[in-house]
Amino acid sequence: MATPIAQPGGHSGFLGAGSSPIRRRAFRKLLAAGLTGSSIEWYDFFLYGTAAALVFPHVFFPNSSALTGTLLAFSTFWAGFVARPVGGVLAGHLGDRYGRKPVVVACLAVMGAATFLIGCLPDAASVGALAPTLLVALRFVQGLAAGGQWGGIVLLLTESAGPKRRGFAGTFGQTSVPIAVIISNLIFVAASGLMPDDAFLSWGWRIPFLVSVVMFGVVSYIQAKVEDTPEFRELQRQVSRPERAVVRAPLAQVVRDKWGTILLGCGLLSATNSLFYVSISGLLSYGTGALRLERGPLLAVVLASSVAMVVVLPWSGHISDRVGRRPLILIGGLGVAVWAFPYFRLVDTASLPLIFVAVVVGFVFQCLTYGPIASFLGELFAPGVRYSGASLAYQLSAVLVSGATPFLMTALIAATGSTLPVAGYITVMGLITFASAWFLPETNTAEVRADPHAIPGTHLYR
C-alpha cells in the first residue's frame, strides 16, 4: 500500500487555495521525486546519443568508414525515437485508464534495465553482427520507456499542482533534460579523461551505462511514497458522471476528436527538438570529425551550456503562469528560426568560446518553447484522454524530428560540405513551432489567470 503524499481533494492539487504547510511540503517532495526520476530516465536516453557520436562507430561498426560508421550509429540512435510514439500510445492508454503513477514506475524500471544491459553488450569484434542487432533492440526498448514516461511525469506534476502553478510545476519534468545532459557528459568526460583512448573504447565506455542501476532506488521511492494525481483520483471517484468517467478507449477518442490539436502539438516541439539534438549529439560528431576539435573540451562546452537551460526552464514555466503559454512559445520558435544561421556561423569558426555562445543562445530560445509545453500540451486535452493526447503529440515529434536530426545533419554536411542546409532545416523547424502556437488556443487566458479557482484549459473541453 503506497503511503500517500497528497490528500484527496478535487482539482486544486497540493497548492490550491488555502493549502497547508504539510501539503506544500508534500508537493515539494513530489517535485523532487519527479525531477530525480525524470533526470535519470533522460540521462539513460541521452547517454546513448553521446556514445553514438563518439564510441559506437568504433565498437559496433569497426569495419565501416568513419562516415558510414557514424551514420550507422546515428541510425541506431534513431531507433529509440521510432519506438517513442509506440511507448507513448501504450502508456497513454494505460495511464488514462489506470492512473499516472503505475505507468511512470513501469517506464522508469524498463529504462534502467535496458540502459544497464547496453553496458553489458559484447562488441562486434566478439560476436559480429549480433552486437549491433542487440544494440538496436535495447535502444528500441529505451525508446518505449522514454515515450511513456514523459507524459506520466509531467501529468503527475501539473495535475498535482494548484491551478496557478501548473506551468512552473511542469518544468520540473522539463528541467530534467538539461540535468541529464550535464550528468551524462560529466560521467563521459570523467570516464574518458581517466584512461587512455584504447581502454575507454574497450571497456571504459560501459561505466556510464552501468551507473543507471541507481534508477531502481528512485523507482522504489516513487512506488512507496507517491500517490496518483488528485485530478485522476477525482476522475475515478466520479465515474457515475459520463463526462468525467474513465474513458475505455482514450487513444481512439482523442485521435477522433482532437487530431488537429495532436498535429499542432507535435509541431510545437519542432524548434526545440531539432536544435537540441544538433547541440548535444550532431555537434559532437561534427566538431570532433570535420572541425578536428578535442572530445573533452567540446563535451565541456555542451555541459556548461546546459546550465543555462536549468535556470531558464523553471523561469519560463513561472512566466507562463503569469502571462499565458503561447507568447513564450511564439517568441522561442521565432528566436530559433532567426538564430539558426548565426548558430552555424559561430560553430564553423571552430572556436570553443564562440561555439559556447552559439549553443547557449540556442538553448535559451529552446527553453522559451520547451518550458511551457509541459503544462500547455496537457491543458489542451480533457483529463480522461490527456495522457494519450499529450504523449502522442510529444512522441510524434520525437520520431519525426528528434531522432532524424543528427542523422540528417551528418548526411547533409557530407553531401554538401556545408552547414548551410542544416541551418535552413533548423529555420524551417522554428517557423513550424511558431505557426503551430499561432493556431492553437491559449489555455491560460487572462480570464483564467484572474479567477483564483479557474483551471487552465478547462474552458476548451467543457
Virtual CA dihedral for 324, 330, 332, 333, nearest 10 degrees? 150
Where residue 404 falls among pLDDT bands split at 50, 70, 90? confident
Mean pLDDT lowest among 7-11, 108-112, 160-164, 245-249: 7-11
Backbone angles phi, psi at 350, to 5 degrees: 60, 20
Where residue 6 falls among pLDDT bands split at 50, 70, 90? very low
| pLDDT score of 240 | 46
Where residue 10 falls among pLDDT bands split at 50, 70, 90? very low
pLDDT single digits (tens) 169-183: 888 888 888 888 888
What's the CATH fold of domain 21-234+248-454? Growth Hormone; Chain: A; (1.20.1250)
| pLDDT score of 93 | 80
- Cβ atoms of 72 and 132 within 8 Å: the answer is yes
96 Cβ contact list (under 8 Å, min separation 6): 246, 247, 250, 384, 385, 386, 387, 388
Q: Could you state, in order of their start, the residue ranges of all structural domains in the chain?
A: 21-234+248-454
Count of CB atoms situated within 10 Å of the CB of 1 = 4
**Strand runs labelled E in 247-290:** none
Residue 3 has pLDDT above 50, yes or no: no
| pLDDT score of 233 | 64
Helix (H) or strand (E) holding 211: none
Give CA angle at 429 (425, 137), nearest 5°. Answer: 85
| pLDDT score of 23 | 67
Instruction: Report how far residue 333's alpha carbon sits from residue 314's, in angstroms, rounded to the nearest whole number.
Output: 18
Instruction: Report how far residue 422's alpha carbon sits from residue 425's, in angstroms, rounded to the nearest whole number.
Output: 5
| pLDDT score of 41 | 77
Altogether, the residues listed in the chain come to a count of: 462
Q: What cell was used for 213?
A: 542501476
Amino acid at 94: L
- Cβ atoms of 174 and 371 within 8 Å: the answer is yes
Residue 242 has pLDDT above 60, yes or no: no
Average pLDDT value over all residues in the chain: 83
Average the pLDDT over 352-375 and give the result.
Answer: 94
Count of CB atoms situated within 10 Å of the CB of 17 = 10
User: What number of CA atoms fall less than 13 Å from residue 433's CA on the CB side?
Assistant: 37
Residue 218 has pLDDT above 90, yes or no: no
Where residue 8 falls among pLDDT bands split at 50, 70, 90? very low
pLDDT single digits (tens) 252-265: 888 888 999 999 99
Signed CA dihedral, 366, 142, 112, 71: sign only: negative
Residue 9 has pLDDT above 50, yes or no: no
